[in-house]
Amino acid sequence: MMYETDTIAAVASAMSNAGIGIIRISGPDAIVICDQLFQGKVKLSEADSHTVHYGHIVWNHEMIDEVMVLVLRAPRTYTREDTVEIDCHGGVLMMEKILSCVLEAGARPAEPGEFTKRAFLNGRIDLSQAESVMDVIQSKNELALKNSMHQLNGMLSSKIRSFREDIIYEIAYIESALDDPEHISLEGYSDSLLIKVERLMKELDHLIQTADHGTMMKEGIQTAIVGKPNAGKSSLLNVLAGRERAIVTDIAGTTRDTLEEQIKIHGISLNIIDTAGIRETDDLVEQIGVERAMDCMKDADLILYVVDVSKPLDESDDQIMREIKDRKVIVLLNKSDLTPVVSEKDIREYLDCKIISFSAKEHTGLDCLEDHIKEMFFHGDLDMNDEIYITNARHKYALKSAYESLSHTRESILNQMPEDFFSIDLMDAYEQLGYIIGESVEDDLVNEIFQKFCMGK
């Protein structure tokens, strides 16, 4: 179904100086509006769809720019509406001037995400695919990009639709049997339904369990580097960042505040926070740094505990190890090029975790660290060929709600409740899954989602 709307326009490329800028126009009058501006060998209203035309933008008898214009006719467009894209010189002032001419000719400024919103409303993509468009644009690493592309290509939508088809079939069967018991029997039906419900619950649970990994894949693993002063924390940050991000000296307490850096290893983003050295101190500023370091440890997904093996463990180490016990921790025995007085055995008396010999000076142990992070968070398996990771909090909530409804159905079956009880919870699960792909979704939620998009998309 096509939605009759007005015609919108926006700059679709970045608003910065570049070689080429793009102004996108979409709506029933897109081609007519551009005909008022474009002067070339072919009139755009007479041009075939999916053709490119050379000419000039002229407005009020003034030649504005030399351009290439792409004509796309409905429904084979991003929005399923007539669309024109003007490729002009990429100066910010030039793009703004051409957009202003387009608006004067009859278009209105597009709202953030309105092109994608129209693609959704016109049935070209569902809501989960629409949300993945912004994820593609904002992807911070290769894995997040691949996962977003999977969702944009409909892999999640396909799974959700399959779940809903299975559920609605059972609902229809129950309703039909209750309406026509003489011809449709429910004898033995509960047993077969239980098998199907438990299978669906297992598949939903698998998707829900990917959410934590999906969030880390999308946003990055919050990683805190902790240790005593002069253990080599800032040196580790510099090695991982590949540049002199932090000041490194022999003076204890050089780092007094947190330093943040994002790096990528094996396609995974780490949001690394270098913290102040943890120790007892009378220095007020250093005390604040230590408190922030403790807060970072509490909030981190991963803790890299750096130990200077050339110095004995002391009360500061005891305090750190008490705080990080039972957390996801990797211990880095730093300065392994020096004569050690701390061994792996000494650490294992306090912590049961991965311990790696490391030298920030010699750059040794990095490969082992990277491999173990991959193993720790993704079980060493990051094959994205057919796996979907849930990265959207709204999707996770809907999946959990659907799972709970199926769980209620399962309880009703086991408690031998009447069949109409089954259909109530099954319908709730069906509707919850519909929220993911945009069926049974309220207009205000749709508006809220698309307001988060960038302009021109």
What is the tens place of the pLDDT at every residue in 210-243?
A: 887 777 777 778 888 888 877 777 777 887 776 5
User: 125, 160, 193: which is the final residue of a domain?
Assistant: 125
Residue 58: CATH number of its domain: 3.30.1360.120
SS3 content of the chain, % helix, strand, coil (to 5): 45, 20, 35
pLDDT in tens, 152-173: 888 899 999 999 999 999 999 8
In this structure, the answer to whether residues 94 and 205 fall within a common structural domain is no
Q: Give the separation between CA 396 and CA 212, rounded to whole angstroms.
A: 10
Residue where the block lists tokens 């007479």: 46
| Residues 313, 409 share a domain | no
Q: Residues 249, 252, 256, CA angle at the centre, nearest 5°?
A: 90
pLDDT given at position 250: 47
The total domain count for the chain is 3
Mean pLDDT of 279-292: 62
Identify the band that residue 315 occupies on the pLDDT scale cut at 50, 70 and 90.
Answer: confident
The answer to whether residues 210 and 246 belong to one domain is no
What CATH number does the domain containing 318 carry? 3.40.50.300
Domain-located, residue 447: no
Report percent pLDDT > 70 for the chain: 86
Residue indicated by tokens 């800032």:
234
Alpha carbon distance 217, 414 (integer Å) = 39
- Kindly state whether residue 383 falls inside one of the protein's structural domains: no
Query: Residue 33: what pLDDT?
Result: 96
* H helix intervals, 244-359: 284-299, 315-324, 344-348
Phi and psi for 74 in degrees, rounded to 5? -60, 150
Beta bridge partners of 84: 25, 71
pLDDT category at 249 given cuts 50, 70, 90 is: very low
Same domain, 402 and 299: no
Chain mean position to CA 51: 34
The reply to whether 345 and 368 lie within a common domain is: yes
Same domain flag for 34 and 48: yes
Cα–Cα distance for residue pair 303/272, rounded to 1 Å: 10
- What does each C-alpha distance from 66 to 57, 98, 209 come to in angstroms? 7, 11, 53
Say if residue 17 is in the same domain as residue 137.
Answer: no
Reported in sequence order, the residue ranges of 208-249 that DSSP labels E, i.e. its strands, are: 221-227
pLDDT tens for 44-81 read 999 999 999 999 999 999 999 999 999 999 999 999 99
Of all helices (H) and strands (E), which one includes residue 25? Answer: strand 18-26
Q: Are residue 148 and residue 234 in the same domain, yes or no?
A: no
Q: Which residues span the domain enclosing 374?
A: 220-378
pLDDT digits (tens, 9 = 90+) for 357-392: 887 777 777 788 888 887 777 655 555 556 788 888
Q: Which helix (H) or strand (E) holds 350?
A: none
Of residues 291 and 100, more confidence is placed in: 100
User: What backbone torsions phi and psi does residue 115 show, to the nearest 5 degrees?
Assistant: -65, -45
Strand 51-59's sheet: what is its strand order? 38-40, 51-59, 62-72, 83-90, 18-26, 8-11, 108-109
Does 446 fall in a domain?
no
Same domain flag for 367 and 239: yes
For 223-240, b/e burial (b = at least 16 CB within 10 A) is bbbbbbbbbbbbbbbbbb
Give domain status of residue 384, yes or no.
Answer: no
Q: What is the pLDDT of residue 285?
A: 60
Asked whether residue 387 is domain-assigned, the answer is no
Phi, psi of 156, rounded to the nearest 5 degrees: -70, -45
- What CATH number does residue 202 fall under? 1.20.120.430
Q: Are 158 and 126 in contact (CB under 8 A)?
A: no
Domain annotation covers residue 386 = no
In a domain, residue 399? The reply is yes
- CA-CA distances (angstroms) from residue 334 to 296, 307, 372, 390? 21, 6, 17, 37
**Residue 40 · residue 53 · CB < 8 Å:** yes
Judgement on whether residues 334 and 248 belong to the same structural domain of the protein = yes
Please tell me whether the overall predicted TM-score, pTM, comes out greater than 0.85 for this model.
no
Question: Do 227 and 339 reside in the same domain of the chain?
Answer: yes
Is the pLDDT at 251 greater than 50? The verdict is: no
| Cβ atoms 208, 400 nearer than 8 A | yes
Residues 277 and 402 in one domain: no
